[in-house]
Each structure stands twice: as structure tokens, then as C-alpha cells.
Structure 1
Amino acid sequence: MADEDWDVDGGESSNFDEDMAAAWEAELANEAEADLDPSNMTQSAAGSERILNQDEIDSLLGFSLEDEDDGKGSGIRSIINSAHVSYERLPMLEVVFDRLVRLLTTSLRNFTSDNVEVSLDSIASMRFGDYLNSIPLPAILAVFRARQLDNYGLVTVDSNLIYSIVDVLLGGRRGTAAMRVEGRPYTTIERMLVTRLVEVILADAKKAFNPLTEVDFDLDRIETNPRFAAIAQPANAAILVRLRVDMEDRGGRCELMLPYATLEPIRKMLLQNFMGEKFGNDNIWEGHLATEIWTAPTNVRVVMDEFEQPLGRMMSLEVGDTLLMNVGQNSKVSLRCGDIYLTEGQIGRIGKKVAVRVEAPLEGVAKKRLVESKI
């Protein structure tokens, strides 16, 4: 009986194990089918991650119409573009163009006899080739030459400002927008009026640079095709200044392009900081420096004659030896400060002291002696 009972219990335990294994296999199969179901995958993904819409994708990548208009980028596009154009900042250049805006506002009011407001939109660095490709046509491009800097620059006037200037100068009505006639080249009258506008801008640009350095901007030529206005290599860096001109309900944009090669001769001046309109001049320090210079002690030597002698003779001089000089009673002596020749005079005596009477101005005689030494 014990053996039979053992056989029954062993059979029951084996059947129970087989049932448990079958149940586990069925449960695993159901879980695998649930994971492979696409609807379940979408629901689980939606629960864990949020899908971006088109506006959020554009903002992430930096593609926005507002950024295009402002000339600023954002997102990934801003990071990419920042590696292309990275140049040093020129603090004094901002002061020069602020001064240009103030001068240009007054000049254009006198030029158009209208209420004109000029504002500075932006100052940016970019490649010259990228700027030529971004110019909206039709437009007029004026190439000018900076005489003292021995290089060129570019003034671009867009179509809105061209038609507004023509309308104002030829007596158009106020309160109506300037008419734009697309699909035709600019007439001779329009080109001449824009040329006068560019001359006014260049004249004010010269005045704006005057406190810093003297620069003459001469108009070289007028172009309507950007390909003929290539004043630098496409990869060269340049400064782009965007100006906005508003005449009541009319106006447009004017852009000033200066390659870095043009500004290179005055780069050190443009790198300095400033204080107010006088570009760093300190009147108190200048007055103190002038006072100290005028009161500084100076040693003046009177040289009667100069001659050359062999070193052996000078080494053999003894007490009582005489050196003869080519100086007479009425000969003139020279006055020097260190090694610098100042002037000449006549030697004499006042009481028990030897005196020298200055007989020529310092500047004239010094120049004459410098010319004689060069000859």
C-alpha cells in the first residue's frame, strides 16, 4: 500500500507542474502579441513622449520669417551661422554711425523740405558675397571711394526709398503712398535724384568720421546690378549698417557696406572706448599736462665750436696744453637742449657773468639747420 500511495502522489505532482508551465507559456504569448500591436505601441509612445508641431520644429531649427526680417537667427540655425561670421567689435564705429544718423536727419530735411526721420536699424558683420546675394531687386547701388583709406564702400538704396524720394522731390501729394512701377529700369531722372541723395549721405559720413580721422568719400559710379558692384572678394568680411528713412507715410531703407579692408588703417582708433562727443578727450588732464610741461626744468647748453681730433692726441693731453677753436670775437654760438639744436646767438658779458643773446627764432633756425644737415 505504501508503494501504491507513492505512485499516486507522484503522478499528481507531475500533472500540476505541466499545468503551471502551460499557463506561463500562454501568458507570455499574450504579452508578446500585445507588444506587437501597433495601436498599443502608439498609445505607449504618446504616453511617454509628446510630438512637436510644425511651429515648434521651426523654432528649434531657427527658420522664422520674423528672424529673416530682423536679420537675427535663433535655434540651431543661429549656432551654425555664428561660426561663419565672428569678428571683433568696434565700439567707436557705433558712435560714428550714431552721429551719422543725427547729421543725416537734418540734411535730408533740408534736402527734401519735408519731415524726415532717420533711424539706425542694425550694425552687423557679414560676408560680402552673402550681402550681394541678399539685396532685394530692383535697387540702386552706389560705389564710393574712401580717399585717405585707399579703398571702396557701397551704398544701397532700395526701391521704396527711391520712389519716395522721387515723389517728394517732384512734388507728389502728401498722404499718399509712393507709386511703384515694377518691371522697368530706372529712368535718368530717377538715377540723378538718387545720385544727389547718395552725395548727401556721403557728405554726412565724412562729417561723422571727422572727430576720429579725416576721410573723404567720393562717389565713383552708380550700378543697378549687384554683379557690377563687387568691390571685395565674396568671402571677405564687411560691416553692414542698415538705416531706415521715414517721410510721414513714405520711406524706405538705405544700407551702408564697408569692408573690413577699408577700415583696417583706422582699426586701432575704432577699437578705443569713448566718453561723449569728444571721443575720449579729457580737458582736465590736458590742462594739467600742459601746465606741467611749461613748468618743467630744461637744461640748455651753449656750444662755441666743434672739431675732431685723433684719439691719441686727446689721450696725450697734459695740464697747460692749448686747444685752438675756429671762433672769433663776433662768431655766433649754438644753443642746444641735449642733442637737439634750438637756435643760435651772440656771446657776451653782463657784469661778471657770461651771457648769450638769442638772435634767431627757434623754429626757423632749427628748420634751416635740419635742411643743411640733410644736404
Structure 2
Amino acid sequence: MADDNDMSADNGADAWGAGGEADPFAGTERILNQDEIDSLLGFDLSDEEGSERTGIRAIINSALVSYERLPMLEIVFDRLVRLMTTSLRNFTSDNVEVSLDNISSIRFGDYLNSIPLPAILAVFKAEELENYGLLTVDSNLIYSIVDVLLGGRRGTAAMRIEGRPYTTIERVLVQRMVEVVLADARAAFEPLTPVSFVLDRLETNPRFAAIARPANAAILVKLRIDMEDRGGRIELLLPYATLEPIRKMLLQQFMGEKFGRDNIWEGHLATELWTTQMEVRCVLDELQIPLQKLLDLQVGETIILNATPESAVELRAGSIPLTRGHMGRRNHNIAVRVEAPLSPQARKAVQRI
């Protein structure tokens, strides 16, 4: 009995701990609650949109590049909104208001899966950038444009007939509107760089509008078009591969930024280069002889050249040939009269400097 009491006392000491306090994890495994699981995965529902992602979600989205790293895009798309407001008013002869909802980064595959159908997807090519972009027109805007262009009454919502493909008339009217938007996009990029956006084709199935790999990152611009009680949404998608050739321009904080270049220093450097002294050699003639004959030359022997007093000589700066001319005398100095322009090799060397 004494031994049993001692064992019970030892077990009780282990359960309560040395300080006499209860150990909540004694004999049980640590279990995470829901808040800790959400924090670990980075899917906290209480977070506001645009807040900093943490946990596994941050790792998943780490491959995406935020559009905020390309500040000039906001200026370009703000200019696009103003241009579209004027162009669509002239196109529809109606009161049109265009607003920019948001600009975000998204994977191309995720965007294709999120397109609400039915919709018309316009694939266009940026010729100078040698890549493609995507412009999506939702069904509300399609029926609104058709209703406005064909003389629908104001104050009544556009009639929608679901479950059927778009007719030829609807596709042609939407194509005309897309061409107006692409012309405005070209004008919006014009102050930055000349880019021609040409409509390639219209698709209704997102699978046929694939212009990039599903994992590739892209810029998504959502535009809202309101025509009194009618309207819809246009979404413009530009893959990062399309914007890569003009990435340096999009990194500017303002139009015409020089990235630290100093025009005063450039002018001073150019002035100093033009006044720099340079050694120029006049080559009368060149002769190739075997190495053995060169080693056998003795003092007093003569090497006969093929040049004559009337032969042209070559002027060189180091190993770069500059031009050709004729030898002569001016006053008491030996001179060369230049009779040919600078060689292409010398021009390239000057351009590199």
C-alpha cells in the first residue's frame, strides 16, 4: 500500500508540475484553432481587400509583380478613360461616362476562368511590341451598345436574351466599338511610345482566346461604361511579356524622366572629347615577308616597298583606319591631303565613344 501511494504521488506531481500548477497539455496533443489555421494559410476573412498577404498565400502570390512597380501605367490608363469618354460619346451619340474601377495583377489562367459568360473576347496585337492583348466585353454592355446604336428608347433597360449565340449584327457592332477603344489606347500610349493596337479576332470561348501561358502574370484593367440607365464593363488584359519592351518607360515616375542623366555633364563630356588630343599615324605601305627572311636581315640591307610618290597613304588611329590621302609638303612641313571620308569602322568607333 505504501508503494502504491508513492506511485500515485509521483504521477500527481507530474500532472501538476513542479510549481503546483496544472499543465493543460499533459497527456494531450497541441491542436490549432481556426484563427491560427487562417493565420498560417494567410486566408483571414477579416482582412480588407488589398491588405498585406501572409503565410502560404503570400508564397503562392509571390510570383506576381504588382502593377504599382510600373507607375506610368496609371497615367496611361487615366488618359485612356478620358479619351474613351469623348470617343464613345461621338460613337453612340449618347451621354457616356467611363470610369476606371481598378488595376490589378493576375495570372492569365485565373483570369480566363473568372470571365463571366456569355461575353465577347477581342484578341488584339500590339505591333511594335510584337505581342498580344485581350479585351473582354460583358453581355450587359453588348446588349446596351446594340440597343443604343439601333435606336432603343431611353429610360428602358436593354432587352437580354440568354442561351443563344451572338448574331452577326451584334458582333459587327461590338467590333466597331472595340476598334474605337483600341484607337484610344493607341492615343493613350502615344506620349510614351508609339504602339499600334490592331484587332486580330473576336472569340466567345475563352479557350480560343489564349494569348499566354496560364501561369504568366498580366495586368488587368477594369473599366465601367455607363449610358444613363444602361451600361456594362470592359476589361483590358495586357500580359507582362507584352509590356516588357517598354518596361523602362513604364518605370518612370513622370513623363520624360531621365533616370539620373545630367544634360550639363553630357555637354561637358562631349566638349572635352572634341578637344582631346589624339595621335594619328600615316602608313606609307605595308609588306608581308616570311618570318625566316625577317630574321636573316643584316645591317645595311634594303627593304623595297611598292609605294610610289603618287600612291595613296592611309591614316590610322591606333589600329583603326580613318581615311586615305596623298603625301606632300606645305611650307616647311610634310603634310597629307585627305581625299576620302571617314571609314565605316572609324564612324562606328566614334559613335561608341
Same fold (TM over 0.5): yes
> Does 1:122 pair with 2:105?
no
Evaluate the alpha carbon distance shift between residue 304 and residue 110 of structure 1 in structure 2; reply closer, same or farther with a 3 A threshold: farther
- Residue 145 of structure 1 aligns with which residue? 125
Task: Work out the CA distance in 2 between the residues paired with 1:345 and 1:115.
Answer: 74
- Residue 274 of structure 1 aligns with which residue? 252
> Does 1:349 pair with 2:349?
no
Once the two structures are TM-superposed, the CA of residue 256 in structure 1 deviates from its matched residue by: 1.7
Contact 2:88 2:96 in 1 (8 A): no
State how 1:94-133 maps to structure 2 within 5 Å: 94-103=71-80, 105-106=82-83, 108-110=85-87, 112-113=89-90, 118-133=98-113
The more displaced of 147-156 and 282-291 is 282-291
Once the two structures are TM-superposed, the CA of residue 94 in structure 1 deviates from its matched residue by: 3.5
TM-score of the aligned structures, taking structure 1 as reference length? 0.64
Task: Work out the CA distance in 2 between the residues paired with 1:173 and 1:300.
Answer: 84
Q: List per-residue Cα deviations over 1:337-359 (Å, max 9, x = no partner).
A: 33333332233221122222222
Q: How many residues align?
A: 300
- Residue 193 of structure 1 aligns with which residue? 173
- Residue 182 of structure 1 aligns with which residue? 161
Contact 1:155 1:256 in 2 (8 A): yes
- Residue 12 of structure 1 aligns with which residue? none
AA at the equivalent of 2:256: K
For structure 1, the residue ranges without an aligned partner over 5 or more in a row are 1-51, 53-59, 371-375
State how 1:16-55 maps to structure 2 within 5 Å: none
- Residue 236 of structure 1 aligns with which residue? 216
- Residue 332 of structure 1 aligns with which residue? 312
AA at the equivalent of 2:330: I
Instruction: Give the number of the structure whose alpha-carbon radius of gyration is greater.
Output: 1
Task: Work out the CA distance in 2 between the residues paired with 1:199 and 1:309.
Answer: 71
For structure 2, the residue ranges without an aligned partner over 5 or more in a row are 1-34, 36-42, 349-353
Matched-pair identity in %: 57
Q: List per-residue Cα deviations over 1:133-178 (Å, max 9, x = no partner).
A: 211223211112334544322111223433444455455666x465
Task: Work out the CA distance in 1 between the residues paired with 2:323 and 2:96.
Answer: 59
The more displaced of 349-358 and 317-326 is 317-326
3-state SS in 2 of match to 1:257: strand
Task: Work out the CA distance in 1 between the residues paired with 2:140 and 2:221.
Answer: 18
- Residue 11 of structure 2 aligns with which residue? none
Task: Work out the CA distance in 2 between the residues paired with 1:357 and 1:247.
Answer: 77
Once the two structures are TM-superposed, the CA of residue 266 in structure 1 deviates from its matched residue by: 5.2
Greater fraction helix: 1
The alignment yields a C-alpha RMSD, in angstroms, of 3.9
AA at the equivalent of 2:328: G
- Residue 5 of structure 1 aligns with which residue? none
Contact 1:211 1:278 in 2 (8 A): no
Contact 1:165 1:194 in 2 (8 A): yes
AA at the equivalent of 1:274: Q
Once the two structures are TM-superposed, the CA of residue 107 in structure 1 deviates from its matched residue by: 5.3
Contact 2:320 2:345 in 1 (8 A): no
Contact 2:281 2:316 in 1 (8 A): yes
Evaluate the alpha carbon distance shift between residue 81 and residue 208 of structure 1 in structure 2; reply closer, same or farther with a 3 A threshold: farther
> Does 1:303 pair with 2:280?
no
Evaluate the alpha carbon distance shift between residue 153 and residue 330 of structure 1 in structure 2; reply closer, same or farther with a 3 A threshold: same
- Residue 62 of structure 1 aligns with which residue? 45
Q: List per-residue Cα deviations over 1:218-254 (Å, max 9, x = no partner).
A: 3211012222212233333322222334556654332
Evaluate the alpha carbon distance shift between residue 241 and residue 292 of structure 1 in structure 2; reply closer, same or farther with a 3 A threshold: farther
Contact 1:96 1:209 in 2 (8 A): no
Evaluate the alpha carbon distance shift between residue 299 and residue 75 of structure 1 in structure 2; reply closer, same or farther with a 3 A threshold: closer
Evaluate the alpha carbon distance shift between residue 316 and residue 201 of structure 1 in structure 2; reply closer, same or farther with a 3 A threshold: farther
Evaluate the alpha carbon distance shift between residue 232 and residue 103 of structure 1 in structure 2; reply closer, same or farther with a 3 A threshold: closer
Once the two structures are TM-superposed, the CA of residue 205 in structure 1 deviates from its matched residue by: 3.7
AA at the equivalent of 1:62: L
AA at the equivalent of 2:45: G
> Does 1:83 pair with 2:59?
yes
Task: Work out the CA distance in 2 between the residues paired with 1:144 and 1:222.
Answer: 9
TM-score of the aligned structures, taking structure 2 as reference length? 0.68
